[in-house]
Chain A
Amino acid sequence: EIVLTQSPGTLSLSPGERATLSCRASQSVSSTYLAWYQQKPGQAPRLLIYGASSRATGIPDRFSGSGSGTDFTLTISRLEPEDFAVYYCQHFSFGPGTKVDIK
């Protein structure tokens, strides 16, 4: 069973800053099956990135995904107030999440 770990657990940043979130798989995975989601309190998750680097419909271009093998990254180029949320990576099962909160 492939296990995903995410780091850091919490990322404290200010609006306008760049956020870099990491997702590491316990063994090499196909990037085709790697996705990222955003979840805000009281809401269902929203698909941001699929296939490791393709943005889902309606997702702003400040969100980008990269990586291959065991290491994947979600980057938010300039944080907007609405971007403070929890982010999950997924390869079949989900990683534990990274919370991006306001510094």
Chain B
Amino acid sequence: QVQLQESGPGLVKPSQTLSLTCSVSGGSINSGTYYWSWIRQPAGMGLEWIGHIYNSGSTNYNPSLKSRVTISVDTSKNQFSLKLSSVTAADTAVYYCARSSSYFYMDVWGKGTTVTVSS
């Protein structure tokens, strides 16, 4: 079955760009009508949808983060990535990648990776 794994630096300095990658195994990122999503969760708080990408490359972002977010896909590596620019301490969170259906519910999740923004 499809599995997702997040990877990237656990510590990012303020004002820098956070970069994470989600590796997809057990299936092709190109197959089916799926969107590939990023979600984050600050410690002790709720879930925040960041955005998603379709395998064609079309994207949709949370309006509150849109100016700072870029999601891209590399079908040759079966991966998709998140870049979040100009980070502050408020961006400290667990970041999850997930597979979304064409109706946008998320049926497969990665385990999550913790990113701390600190100097």
Contact = CB atoms under 8 A, between A and B. Distances in A.
B46 interface: yes
Pick the most buried of B46, B101, B105, B110: most chain A CB atoms within 10 A of its CB. Answer: B105
A48 B46 CA distance: 17
A44 B96 contact: yes
A32 B22 CA distance: 27
Contacts, number: 53
Interface secondary structure of B, over-half rule? loop
A45 B63 contact: no
A88 B47 CA distance: 8
A67 interface: no
Interface in A56-81: 56-57
Nearest to A35: B105
Contact of B103 (A32, A37, A94, A96): A32
B103 A51 contact: yes
Given A50-B101, A93-B48, 14 more contacts: A1-B63, A32-B103, A33-B104, A45-B106, A47-B105, A47-B107, A50-B105, A51-B103, A90-B49, A90-B106, A93-B49, A95-B46, A96-B46, A97-B46
26 contacts: A32-B103, A33-B103, A33-B104, A35-B104, A35-B105, A44-B109, A44-B110, A44-B111, A45-B47, A47-B105, A47-B107, A50-B105, A50-B107, A51-B103, A88-B46, A88-B47, A90-B49, A90-B106, A92-B104, A93-B48, A93-B49, A94-B39, A94-B47, A94-B49, A97-B46, A97-B47
Contact of B49 (A44, A92, A97): A92
Interface string A3-40: 00000000000000000000000000000110101010
Contacts of A92: 49, 104
Contact of A46 (B49, B101, B103, B109): B109
